[in-house]
Amino acid sequence: MFNKVSNSFYRQNDVVELSKQLLGKVLVTNINGQKTAGVITETEAYRGPEDKACHAHLNRFTKRTKVMFAKGGVAYVYLCYGIHHLFNVVTGDEGLPHAILIRAVEPLEGVEVMLERRNMTKIQPRLTSGPGCLSKALAIDKSHYGLNLESDVIWIEDRNIVVNEIIATTRIGIDYAEEDALLPWRFYIKGNRWVSKQ
DNA sequence: CACGGGATCGTCT
DNA sequence: GACGATCCCGTGT
């Protein structure tokens, strides 16, 4: 069988490095009796207190950001624009509010279910490219806030997929973050079609 | 294909 | 009361 990524992997403290390592791993959900999976093709690093784009900038601790301070290996899901549930992986030691936003996956298993959840008929990048899109396709929502990623509901597997080249560029939708908006902390697999923005 | 506006609501000020 | 770590659809080229 495939290797489920263990919590120790997520507890490394270099969130930027981890964001790259997540590329090529497989995000799997088993929700409402339906299994769906996709290869992670695009991620963004949010680096705790020193990152102006991070919800936990300056250790801002609220009901929403609370889970980012937990030990790495749990889900941080929040509602964006009142519509979209965005899925993040919390990383680092307890008290260090690092997180990785998963922005796109390439469908692997359960494609029919994904199409149905997305109200689509044709397979195209829009199915799972973009953080709101993939959450909907994989049925991730706020009820998974704080869920441990060693659970059998949402987890990540290492299937030894080789990633040749990684592009590092600026993150999306964080103009408010001033100079930190320029950090090259968005990563995607070069040449992969299942990416929200090339 | 590029652009622009509207949807929609939890969270924090 | 304002505003998103977004997406979709309509319009115009």
Cβ burial A124-152 (10 Å sphere, 16+ → b, else e):
ebebbbbbbbbbbbbbbeeebbebebeee
Per-residue pLDDT, A54: 98
Sign of CA dihedral A175, A180, A185, A191: positive
Which residues of chain A register pLDDT less than 50? Answer: none
Distance CA A182, CA A168 (A): 11
Q: Can you give the distance from the CA of residue A114 to the C1' of nucleotide B5 in angstroms?
A: 28
**A53 CB neighbours strand C below 7 A:** yes
Integer distance in angstroms from CA A160 to C1' C8?
35
User: Which residue in A152, A135, A133, A154 sits closest to A196, CA to CA?
Assistant: A133
For residue A146, which phi and psi values (nearest 5 degrees)? 85, 0
A164 CB-to-strand C distance under 7 Å: no
The confidence score (pLDDT) of residue A160 equals 96
For chain A, how big is the Rg over CA atoms in Å? 15
pLDDT given for residue A16 in this prediction: 98
Asked if residue A183 keeps its beta carbon closer than 7 A to nucleic acid strand C, the reply is: no
Residue A58 neighbours by CB distance under 10 Å: 11
With 0-12 CB in 10 A as exposed, 13-18 as middle and 19+ as buried, what is A88?
A: buried
Q: Which residue in A21, A16, A127, A140 sits closest to A75, CA to CA?
A: A140
Q: Can you give the pLDDT at residue A148?
A: 98
d(CA A128, C1' C10) / Å: 23
Q: Comparing C-alpha atoms, which of A86, A122, A104 is closest to residue A38?
A: A104
3-state secondary structure (DSSP) of residue A115: helix
> What is the structure's pLDDT at A1?
63
pLDDT of residue A2: 75
A52 CB and strand C closer than 7 A? no
